[in-house]
Amino acid sequence: MSVHFIPENLPTHIQHFIGGQFVDSVNGETFDVLDPVSNQTYATAAAGQQADIARAVAAAKDAFTTGPWPKILPRARARVLHRIADAVEAQDARLAELETFDTGLPITQALGQAHRAAENFRFFADLIVAQADDTYKVPGRQINYVNRKPVGVAGLITPWNTPFMLESWKLAPALASGCTVVLKPAEFTPLSASLWAEIFRTAGVPDGVFNLVNGIGEQAGDALVKHPDVPLISFTGETTTGQTIYRNCAANLKGMSMELGGKSPAVVFADADLDAAIDSTLFGVFSLNGERCTASSRILVERSVYDDFCTRYAARAQSIVVGDPHEPATEVGALVHPEHYAKVMSYVEIGKTEGRLLAGGGRPAGLDDGNYVSPTVFADVAPTARIFQEEIFGPVVAITPFDSDEEALELANGVKYGLAAYIWTTNLERAHNFAQAVDAGMVWLNSHNVRDLRTPFGGVKASGLGHEGGYRSIDFYTDQQAVHITLAPVHTPRFGRS
């Protein structure tokens, strides 16, 4: 076993960033931040409370109402966003090692997430320059056009899995649209979020446009959601938390975009390319340590190829390299936090009573410390089982057989979630009909989760509310005001005329 890697110049205290300044909490409160390999405290972070959120929102509101950011031309904003992308790419190795240290994600996968973060800023920089709005003409009578305006202060609440990339997913379109922001990152993983402040300042983002408040969700997140001067909340995270945010947004009728949990099916028909399906479904549930909302954590396999699929899948799962996240050969690292590790392991024990254990089922040999879980595979899992129905968010997969297209669809749709689905078949008619019938916001045919930033990202049922990606993100962060201009005398009924 290798010696645990600790990045150089690691901060021992992480502060908020409000109005262009690094600051502690008003009341001085902090919380401990652990690294998931040793589970030792490596830093404290300022713990935001209502007063800190109030300061951040005030700074963001002032920057929106009196500052230049919402009013500058799209090309000027785009140049700033491209400089942000340049800065992210220039320090991708540093970002990756900090992200890996903080989250337990394998270093090669963390590096990929840094590159995706840069691409998010480039994409929205280009999009706002190309943005066109609608004009409608009634010949000789009227012209109506859409005036798009940034909404105001956007509250962004982000999760602890791939935190830097998912923060960029919200920050890029919010800033591109001319909004100012208050970001509340997940308390488990505040390290990489702290880098945004200097990246933005160097790129030319005015003070107050970007504000960061660390803290516990029930304190800092709750205060942000309830603040009357924050008209928008974008949240990515767990479904129960999303329901709480939904209720708390109601009082002020806030705009909401919520990408929540998933229990996504991968449906493998007998005519599929099994080699490709096995490659994809292994990657789909075990990459990012299984801590991904779109994980294909339920695999439904047609009966005639079921035994072969299970045998081959389990053999590959047993060969996955689990180890120190900073080792380039590592494919599954350490789960993010002891609390989450305990949750995942509790599901592993439940699974032993609900399915046939084919691989994993505990802690890997030789990794006695840290939040390590062996890639775990259960077969013969009934659709009523908890490991079939509930999101585990770890390296655990349930495999279930089916005998017909109708049964496969019933199984695929038989959970409360509806984020993603993966369909494996060479029958084109079946592929499209099944894809359109499945309850999922996103479907991939004969592929894994490959994103096109122009397309909508979001789920149905308990997996979310609204969509982000492409113009849908711009729509969320802007108001579309209709302006009507008359071109001829208006014949209005003359009320009150005798």
Tell me how far apart the alpha carbons of residues 51 and 58 are, in angstroms, rounded to a whole number: 11
Tell me how far apart the alpha carbons of residues 73 and 470 are, in angstroms, rounded to a whole number: 19
Where are any strands of DSSP class E within 2-96?
A: 13-14, 16-18, 21-23, 30-34, 41-46
What average pLDDT score do residues 329-337 get?
97
In a shared domain, residues 214 and 86? yes
Q: What is the pLDDT of residue 195?
A: 96
pLDDT cut 70: percent of the chain above it: 99
Tell me how far apart the alpha carbons of residues 39 and 78 are, in angstroms, rounded to a whole number: 41
pLDDT in tens, 132-154: 999 999 999 999 999 999 999 99
Q: Which domain holds residue 96?
A: 13-260+463-482
The secondary structure of 459-482 as a DSSP string is -SGGGEES-BSTHHHHHHHEEEEE
Q: Where residue 450 falls among pLDDT bands split at 50, 70, 90? A: confident
Of 445, 472, 490, the residue at which a domain comes to its end is 445
In a shared domain, residues 125 and 210? yes
Q: Is the dihedral of CA 347, 315, 162, 390 positive or negative?
A: negative
Q: What is the pLDDT of residue 1?
A: 44
pLDDT in tens, 3-35: 678 999 999 999 999 999 999 999 999 999 999
Phi then psi for 260, rounded to 5 degrees? -110, -150
Q: What is the pTM of this model?
A: 0.96
In a shared domain, residues 249 and 271? no
The secondary structure of 333-377 as a DSSP string is ---S-HHHHHHHHHHHHHHHHHSEEEE--SPPTT--SSS----EE
Q: What is the pLDDT of residue 97?
A: 95
In a shared domain, residues 292 and 347? yes
Tell me how far apart the alpha carbons of residues 464 and 274 are, in angstroms, rounded to a whole number: 31
Residue 14 near residue 194 (C-beta atoms within 8 A)? yes
**Does residue 492 belong to any structural domain of this protein?**
no
In a shared domain, residues 163 and 309? no
Q: Is the pLDDT of residue 291 over 60?
A: yes
User: How many of the other CB atoms lie within 10 Å of CB of 269?
Assistant: 22
* Mean pLDDT taken over the chain: 96
In a shared domain, residues 467 and 324? no
What average pLDDT score do residues 293-299 get?
97
Which residues does the annotation mark as catalytic?
A: 259
pLDDT in tens, 479-491: 999 999 999 998 8
Q: What is the pLDDT of residue 3?
A: 61
What is the total count of domains within the chain? 2
CATH number of residue 316's parent domain? 3.40.309.10
In a shared domain, residues 139 and 217? yes
Q: What is the pLDDT of residue 260?
A: 95
Measured in whole angstroms, the distance separating CA 410 from the mean position of its chain's CA atoms is 27
Looking only at Cα atoms, what is the longest distance across the chain?
Answer: 96
pLDDT in tens, 63-107: 999 999 999 999 999 999 999 999 999 999 999 999 999 999 999
pLDDT in tens, 343-357: 999 999 999 999 999
